[in-house]
């Protein structure tokens, strides 16, 4: 069905994922009751107003609840418009949609959408009855406009030939897709040093033009963590957004590339049925379907230009205001972008940041326990400001006595932790064959020497630049 696709809803202060608007005497004990149960079984925090005291006018409490809901499902049944309470709910829901505060899914349950749109049939009788009672032309006009606008939103129309249980499951799937797209990304357990680095990069990202931002640095430095934090801060400002992770790894096969293209299209358009049969056609499909949207796209962990081109082709088709964020270990990959881009090198954590991050994992506090300061300082120096290394070491040492800390430090110096080696080896794997040979020579013949001294030697031999981290 793919109806909830705007993805611009601000999610941070939402108390409810779903708000159900319905006429209780029509559907509470039937369709809406079953729909609520299905949403609840699937883990949706859903509000129904059966616990609020009813009155002539809608309560401020309920208006606030609507504002703090992410999606509203409006169940239009034949007597819906006879309830002034329902009509006031509807006015508020449409207002929130116009302000990009929520998404709206109309459900026409044994009701013709044209009757809702044009206030015919029972909807016409209901509005005529309200006109006689209230004599308030402005209020009646707001109700009429809200009904018309709601009926113009793509919705779900129940056909009695279709099993009601299947229809309910279709609605639940639609809401599930919407929740997936609205959910912020998990950044990290302890975001030490993240805010200052994000702030430095947001200046470029918040410009009004089409802009590509490259973020580079060695493995374990925190590139992905930073981009996730940036993504969470700004994604709801765009008409569509997508976060593609581990692009290098997933681009090793044609099927992997096609899967990335389909993920990009789904996350922005919300259509799971949109398939790509080959990567070259996929590039054109992306351009054709997304060229009119102001999008945010993160392409995480690339090591060559082709991986970017498989997802974007040329970037000149992007709608005004679109932003592309790319992370890589190789700065050279970013040099081919041309105009309209900027690059940022991720800096290692300073001593204070490194100590805090390490301590959070090792002691669950922002500084070492008494008696551990000197040992912690040695691990900090070993970690050289790499968040990944500090995190792994801190978690590994948590709860262990001091005697084991000393043994672990010696072991780290001789044989690094397997998880650390696995992560950092990806930088080595990304080098060409010649660069790998040079790297191994450096590791064998210059072990323990100052980096600047080694760089001077390599420059003298015309072998520089080489990645010496």
pLDDT for the residue 386: 94
Alpha-helical runs (H) found in 313-432: 351-363, 373-383, 387-397, 402-414, 418-429
Mean pLDDT of the chain: 86
Q: Using 50, 70 and 90 to split pLDDT, how confident is the model at 430? A: low
- In the predicted model, is pLDDT for residue 78 greater than 90? yes
pLDDT band of 13, cuts 50, 70, 90: very low
**Whole-angstrom distance, CA of residue 396 vs CA of residue 385:** 17
Is the pLDDT higher at 445 or at 26? Answer: 26
Arithmetic mean of pLDDT, 105-120: 95
Name the pLDDT band for 114 (thresholds 50, 70, 90). Answer: very high
**376 pLDDT above the threshold of 90:** yes
- Whether residue 348 is predicted with pLDDT greater than 90 in this model: the reply is yes
pLDDT-derived band at 101, boundaries 50, 70, 90: confident
Catalytic residue among 78, 89, 149, 239: 89
Q: Which of 417, 423, 346 is nearest to 379 (CA)?
A: 417
| Count of beta carbons in the 10 Å neighbourhood of residue 2 | 16
Catalytic annotation present for 239: no
d(CA 303, CA 334): 9
Residues 93 and 102 sit within 8 Å (Cβ to Cβ): yes
Q: Is the confidence at residue 259, as pLDDT, over 90?
A: yes
The pLDDT of residue 432 is 64
Mean pLDDT of 229-239: 88
For the chain, the C-alpha Rg in angstroms (whole number) is 28
Position 2 pLDDT exceeds 60? no
| Overall average pLDDT of the 190-213 stretch | 86
Q: Which of 55-69, 131-145, 358-372 has the lowest mean pLDDT?
A: 55-69
Under 8 Å between Cβ of 417 and 392: yes
Cα three-residue angle 89-94-97, rounded to 5 degrees: 125
Gap between the Cα atoms of 270 and 332, Å rounded: 34
Is the per-residue pLDDT at 251 higher than 80?
A: yes
Residue 79's closest CA among 31, 111, 107, 35? Answer: 111
46 has pLDDT over 60: yes
The pLDDT score that the predictor gives to residue 182 is: 65
Does residue 227 have a pLDDT over 90? yes
Q: What are phi and psi of 287, to 5 degrees?
A: -65, -45
| Residue 10 pLDDT class (50, 70, 90 cuts) | very low
**Is residue 413 predicted with pLDDT exceeding 80?**
no
Residue 438 in this model has a pLDDT that exceeds 60:
yes
- The HSE-up count of residue 439 (CA atoms within 13 Å, CB side) is 15
Please report where in the chains the tokens 């070259």 appear, as a residue.
280
Q: Out of 69-78, 231-240, 324-333, pick the least confident.
A: 231-240
Contacts of 225 (CB under 8 A, 6+ apart): 187, 188, 191, 194, 387
Listed range (22-31, 138-147, 201-210) with the worst mean pLDDT = 201-210
Answer yes or no: is pLDDT of 340 > 80. Answer: no
Helix (H, G, I), strand (E, B) or coil at 221: coil
> Does the pLDDT at position 240 exceed 60?
yes
* Sign of the four-CA dihedral 40, 45, 48, 54: positive
The mean per-residue pLDDT over the stretch 331-337 comes to: 80
pLDDT score of 444 more than 60:
yes
Tally: H helices and E strands in the chain: 21, 10
Report in angstroms the alpha-carbon separations of 158 from 11, 75, 122: 29, 10, 18
273 pLDDT above the threshold of 90: no
Q: Answer yes or no: are the C-beta atoms of 305 and 248 closer than 8 Å.
A: no
Residue 335 in this model has a pLDDT that exceeds 90? no
Q: What local confidence, expressed as pLDDT, does residue 467 receive?
A: 45
- The count of other CB atoms within 10 Å of the CB of residue 41 is 9
- Report the pLDDT value the prediction gives residue 180, as an integer from 0 to 100: 62
Confidence of residue 425 (pLDDT cuts 50, 70, 90): low
- Beta carbons of 217 and 427 less than 8 angstroms apart: no
Higher pLDDT pick, 181 / 43: 43
Tell me which of 146 and 137 has the higher pLDDT. 146
pLDDT for 82: 95
- In which band, very low, low, confident or very high, does the pLDDT at 419 lie, cut at 50, 70 and 90? low
What is the tens place of the pLDDT at every residue in 158-172? 977 789 999 999 999
Q: What is the dihedral of CA 363, 369, 371, 374, to 10 degrees?
A: 70
Position with higher pLDDT, 58 vs 110: 110
Beta bridge partners of 324: 212, 297
Q: What would the mean pLDDT of 85-92 be, rounded to a whole number?
A: 94
Which residues does 168 contact at the CB level (< 8 Å), separation at least 6? Answer: 31, 34, 35, 38
Q: Which two tokens stand for residue 162?
A: 């279709």
User: Does the structure show a pLDDT above 90 at 95?
Assistant: yes
The answer to whether residues 320 and 211 touch, using CB atoms and an 8 Å cutoff, is no
Angle between helices 279-290 and 254-269 (to 10 degrees): 10
Number of Cα atoms under 13 Å in the Cβ half of residue 244: 34
In the predicted model, is pLDDT for residue 4 greater than 70?
no
């Amino acid at each position: 069905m793919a109806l909830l696709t705007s993805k611009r809803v601000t999610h941070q202060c939402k108390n409810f994922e779903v708000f159900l608007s319905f006429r209780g005497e029509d559907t509470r004990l039937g369709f809406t009751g079953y729909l609520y149960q299905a949403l609840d079984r699937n883990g949706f925090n859903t509000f129904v107003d059966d616990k609020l005291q009813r009155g002539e006018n809608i309560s401020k409490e309920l208006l606030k609840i609507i504002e703090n809901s992410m999606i509203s499902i409006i169940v239009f049944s034949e007597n819906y418009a006879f309830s002034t309470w329902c009509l006031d709910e509807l006015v508020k829901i449409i207002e929130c949609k116009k302000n990009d505060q929520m998404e709206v899914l109309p459900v026409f349950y044994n009701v013709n959408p044209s009757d809702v749109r044009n206030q015919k049939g029972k909807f016409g009788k209901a509005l005529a009855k309200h006109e006689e009672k209230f004599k308030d032309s402005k209020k009646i006009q707001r109700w009429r406009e809200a009904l018309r606008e709601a009926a113009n939103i793509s919705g779900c129309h129940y056909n009695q030939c279709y099993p009601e249980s299947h229809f309910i499951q279709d609605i639940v799937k639609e809401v599930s897709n919407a929740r997936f797209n609205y959910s912020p990304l998990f950044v990290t357990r302890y975001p030490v040093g993240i805010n200052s680095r994000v702030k430095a990069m947001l200046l470029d990202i918040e410009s009004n033009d089409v802009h590509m931002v490259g973020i580079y640095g060695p493995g374990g430095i925190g590139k992905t963590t930073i981009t996730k934090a940036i993504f969470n801060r700004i994604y709801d400002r765009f008409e569509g957004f997508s976060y593609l992770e581990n692009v290098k790894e997933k681009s090793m096969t044609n099927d992997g590339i096609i899967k990335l293209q389909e993920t990009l299209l789904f996350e922005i358009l919300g259509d799971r049925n949109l398939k790509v049969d080959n990567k070259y056609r996929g590039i054109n499909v992306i351009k054709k379907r997304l060229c009119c949207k102001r999008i945010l796209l993160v392409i995480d962990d690339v090591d060559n230009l082709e991986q970017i081109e498989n997802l974007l082709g040329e970037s000149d088709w992007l709608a005004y205001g679109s932003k592309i964020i790319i992370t890589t270990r190789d700065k050279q990959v970013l040099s081919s972008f041309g105009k309209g881009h900027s690059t940022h090198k991720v800096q290692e954590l300073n001593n204070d940041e490194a100590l805090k991050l390490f301590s959070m994992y090792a002691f669950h506090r922002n500084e070492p326990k008494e008696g551990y300061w000197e040992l912690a300082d040695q691990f900090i120096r070993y970690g050289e400001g790499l968040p990944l290394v500090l995190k792994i070491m801190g978690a590994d040492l948590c709860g262990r006595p001091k005697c084991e800390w000393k043994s672990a430090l010696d072991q780290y110096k001789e044989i690094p932790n397997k998880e650390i080696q696995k992560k950092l080896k990806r930088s080595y794997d990304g080098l060409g064959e010649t660069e790998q040979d040079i790297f191994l020579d450096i590791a064998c013949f210059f072990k323990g020497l100052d980096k600047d001294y080694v760089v001077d030697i390599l420059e003298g031999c015309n072998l520089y630049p080489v990645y010496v981290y």
